[in-house]
Structure 1
Amino acid sequence: MIGVLAHLFEERVMTMTDRDNQQADQNAAIKDPDEWVTGDEPPTAAQESYLHTLAREANAEIPADLTKAEASKQIDELQAETGRGQ
């Protein structure tokens, strides 16, 4: 019986540790675009494509010559406007 309880406790601790590590990884992945090392680079092809899709849905204009960081912020704004980011 003690062996079973010890095993269950060990599984529970591992599950909690895994969850904590996963949450820490997710928090680390969310950074302010202004802090991106590559934020001043041109937007990625995926960002540009998604921006055009969102802008079309929102009836919005996309500013020319956006940086990668600016494109990310614009995507966030348009997602909020179109309801896609929820």
Structure 2
Amino acid sequence: MEPGQETIGATGAASGDSALEKDPSEWVSGDDPMTESQKSYLDTLAREAGEVLPADLTKAEASEHIDRLKGASGS
């Protein structure tokens, strides 16, 4: 690796830059159905929070619920 080369991963250099994060409502694939991974994780979070959510969410909607529920649970 070259000195000064931009990296991702363990250093966390890119993760703290909120300018790099795109709002789920702006995702190109945001209107696609949520992925199986999102569905599984959201199911776990919703159960822990005692919430019931529709199973036909879009990727963007699922992401927003995941962020909200993670914030509520302190995860």
Query: Which residue of the partner structure matches residue 4 of structure 1?
Result: none
Paired residues of 2:39 and 2:55 also in contact (CA < 8 A): no
Max Rg structure: 1
> Highest relative contact order (Cα 8 Å, sep 6+), 1 or 2?
2
Partner of 1:18: 6
TM-score of the pair, normalised by structure 2? 0.74
Which one has a larger percent helix, Structure 1 or Structure 2? 1
The 4+ residue runs of structure 1 with deviation greater than 4 A are none
**Pairing partner for 2:37 from 46, 50, 70:** 46
Segments of 5+ residues of structure 2 without an aligned counterpart are: 8-12
Q: Matched residue pairs, number? A: 67
TM-score for the superposition, normalised by structure 1: 0.66
Counterpart Cα distance in 1 of 2:65 and 2:24: 11
Matched, 1:60 2:51: yes
Aligned residues: CA RMSD: 2.3
The one-letter amino acid of 2:6's match is D
Partner of 2:72: 81
